[in-house]
């Protein structure tokens, strides 16, 4: 009986390793766009413009969206940039300089995702006494503060540019 008790206490070991369990192939993850996720696309656009002007670049490339395209259109119409065009999924903005001085000297984001700023037609700000431009999102679309005042519209003040 002693032999049986010892046989049960120590199981027999075999020299062959156990086969690994079969694994399913992991599904491939879809490719993500390059770059970081941005919570404030207009703020990112204005920062790219500010950095490009500071580094004296000729042009700057920005991921495209309809709102950013409208902001670029206003900057071109007001004379802060020389051209803007949509190329695929990017907006290429050509910066404007007169001599060594950039036409775009300052940009300030007013309404942010964490704090929206709205103004009635009478409260629309004058930027540097009317020398600069406020960019306003109204019910009739994105336009300059001067144009919104002329049409009698208020809205969200996106940015100030001078």
pLDDT at 39: 92
pTM of the predicted structure, to 2 decimals = 0.77
At the topology level of CATH, where does 41-161 sit? Dna Ligase; domain 1 (3.30.1490)
Domain locations in the chain as residue ranges: 41-161
Q: Which residues of the chain have pLDDT under 70?
A: 1-15, 31-33
Tens digits of residue pLDDT in 21-66: 777 777 777 766 677 778 999 999 999 999 999 999 999 999 999 9
3-state SS, one letter per residue, for the chain:
CHHHHHHHHCCCCCCCCCCCCCCCCCCCCCCCCCCCCCCCHHHHHHHHHHHHHHCCCCEEEEECCHHHHHHHHHHHHCCCEEEEEEECCEEEEEECEECCEECCCCEEECCCCCCCCEECCCCCCCHHHHCCEEEEEECCEEEEHHHHHHHCCCEEEEEEEC
């Amino acid at each position: 009986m002693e032999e049986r008790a010892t046989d049960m206490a120590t199981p027999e070991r075999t020299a062959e390793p156990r086969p690994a369990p079969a694994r399913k192939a992991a599904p491939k993850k879809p490719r993500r766009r390059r770059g970081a996720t941005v919570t404030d696309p207009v703020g990112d656009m204005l920062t790219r413009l500010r950095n490009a002007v500071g580094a004296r670049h000729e042009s700057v490339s920005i991921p495209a969206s309809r709102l950013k395209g409208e902001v670029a259109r206003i900057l071109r119409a007001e004379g802060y940039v020389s051209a803007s065009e949509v190329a695929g999924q990017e907006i290429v903005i050509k910066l404007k300089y007169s001599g060594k001085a950039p036409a775009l000297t300052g940009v300030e984001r007013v309404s942010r995702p964490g704090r929206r700023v709205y103004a009635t037609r009478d409260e629309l700000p004058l930027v540097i006494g009317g020398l600069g431009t406020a960019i306003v999102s109204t019910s009739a679309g994105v336009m300059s503060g001067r144009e919104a005042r002329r049409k009698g519209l208020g809205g969200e003040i996106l940015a100030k540019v001078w």
